[in-house]
Amino acid sequence: MGETPHRSAHAGTGGTRVTSGHDWPAGASARFAETSGNPRTPTGNGLGGGGGLPRARAFGAERAFRGLTVAAGAAVLVIIAAIAVFLIAKAVPALQANTEDFWTFEGWFPNDNPPKFGIGALAFGTVLTALLALLVAVPVALGIALYLTHYAPRRIGTGLGFVIDLLAAVPSVVFGLWGRDYLVGPVTDLSTWLNRYFGWIPIFGDGPYGNSILLGSLVLAIMVLPIITSLSREVFLQTPTANEEAALALGATRWEMLRTAVLPYGRPGIIAAVMLGLGRALGETIALALTLGSTYAISFNVLTSGGNTIAANIANRFAEANDTGRGALIASGLVLFAITLIVNITARAIIYRRREFTESAA
């Protein structure tokens, strides 16, 4: 843009201006001036033309957009704060009315007089079912994702990937009913078998079997599987071909290539996928309300009917709750929120620790 000095020596902005009606771009006019010997200058509309720098506009799309985004961000904070205030205001009176220790008491009688309830067993059940579900789902999900991206023929990979995405769209109540009415049979058989041969391990204790932590966790595992699979599939697809080739050229087998290039590169993404799955597992309500036995005891025996989670408990008990009962359930919801928050912060910390490597990888 603009006139090159030596060319426009006689047609430059400092020279005599011969105004013309033509809208020559600056460069074109200079060339024209040179060849025709008839000096013409741009009319001032040329892109690089003379005059001072334009002033910044006081109001424009840029500022309006900026204001809009700031307002949106602020609105989110206000809404969150309002919800927090409301929840805490409801929870505190119930907690004050509680005649047992909120953290350790194993039971949930907030509607009685005097009210007695404790979060311990519920929080324990929440974390246990979620972790068990991940234990089952993560290896399977990663296996499926690796198969889809690096082993399956391209068309099968895309097709199967689509089916798995569909699985993520199934409402959780469907999973819950399926688990309660169908899966409970096989799981009871499995429990009997596990107890017979591995009964010496405390987690595979005696029955009655059926609506157990194991059943709930398996249903949860199936529910989080598609999320983790489809996210890690995206992650694996993003590995640069050049890195995969580098590993192969060193003589890596396909599995070694996945281990040297694909998995490390996808690590932050995999962690994020697992955390999303964990978030869903921790917050899952209806499927667990349908499959767990709704007891209030802390027990590692995953085979016995029983178990409960914070979210399932809220679903099961909200209808019958009085004022204190609702307050108690809201307090339990706040604890669930805290658990989720801790999980997320931990995940962030893990990703952050290797930031130096993952950033240059991105």
Partner 1 sequence: MAKRIEATNVSAYYGAFKAIENINLTVEPKTVTALIGPSGCGKSTFLRSINRMHEVLPGARVEGSLTIDNQDIYDRDVDVTAVRRMIGMVFQRPNPFPTMSIFENVVAGLRLNGVRKKSILEETAEKALRSANLWDEVKDRLGKPGAGLSGGQQQRLCIARTIAVEPQVVLMDEPCSALDPISTLAIEDLMFQLKDKFTIIIVTHNMQQAARVSDRTAFFSIEKTGDPGRLIEYDNTQKIFSNPSVKKTEDYITGRFG
Binding residues for partner 1, rule: CB under 8 A, are: 154, 240, 242-253, 256, 260-261, 264-265, 267, 356-358, 360-361
SS3 305: strand
Please report how close the Cβ of residue 271 comes to partner 1 at its closest, in angstroms: 13
Alpha-helical segments (H) within the chain = 26-36, 61-97, 120-146, 154-168, 172-178, 184-198, 213-237, 241-249, 254-257, 263-283, 286-291, 310-317, 323-353, 355-361
Residue (31 or 354) nearer to partner 1, CB: 354
Instruction: Please give the Cα distance from 8 to 18 (Å, whole number).
Output: 13
Residue (58 or 362) nearer to partner 1, CB: 362
Q: What is the DSSP string of 94-149?
A: HHHH--S-TTT---EETTSSS-EE-SHHHHHHHHHHHHHHHHHHHHHHHHHHHIII
SS3 212: strand
Please report how close the Cβ of residue 245 comes to partner 1 at its closest, in angstroms: 6
Do you know the residue count of the chain?
362
Please report how close the Cβ of residue 261 comes to partner 1 at its closest, in angstroms: 6
The answer to whether 285 touches 315, Cβ cutoff 8 Å, is yes
Residue (35 or 360) nearer to partner 1, CB: 360
Residue (35 or 241) nearer to partner 1, CB: 241
Residue (56 or 249) nearer to partner 1, CB: 249
The answer to whether 110 touches 98, Cβ cutoff 8 Å, is yes
Residue (297 or 361) nearer to partner 1, CB: 361
> Angle CA(164)–CA(165)–CA(167) in degrees, nearest 5?
65
Please report how close the Cβ of residue 157 comes to partner 1 at its closest, in angstroms: 11
Q: What are 84's two structure tokens? A: 């927090």
Please report how close the Cβ of residue 257 comes to partner 1 at its closest, in angstroms: 9
Q: What are 222's two structure tokens? A: 């199936």
Q: Using CB atoms within 10 Å of the CB of residue 291, give its burial: 0 to 12 exposed, 13 to 18 middle, 19+ buried.
A: buried
The β-bridge relationship of strands 108-109 and 116-117 is: antiparallel
Please report how close the Cβ of residue 265 comes to partner 1 at its closest, in angstroms: 6
Neighbours of 5 (CB within 10 A): 9
Residue (21 or 251) nearer to partner 1, CB: 251
**Which residue carries 């060319």 as its tokens?**
7
Please report how close the Cβ of residue 11 comes to partner 1 at its closest, in angstroms: 38
Please report how close the Cβ of residue 276 comes to partner 1 at its closest, in angstroms: 21
Residue (42 or 269) nearer to partner 1, CB: 269
Q: What are 163's two structure tokens? A: 């089916």
Please report how close the Cβ of residue 192 comes to partner 1 at its closest, in angstroms: 44
Residue (175 or 265) nearer to partner 1, CB: 265
Q: What are 340's two structure tokens? A: 């989720």
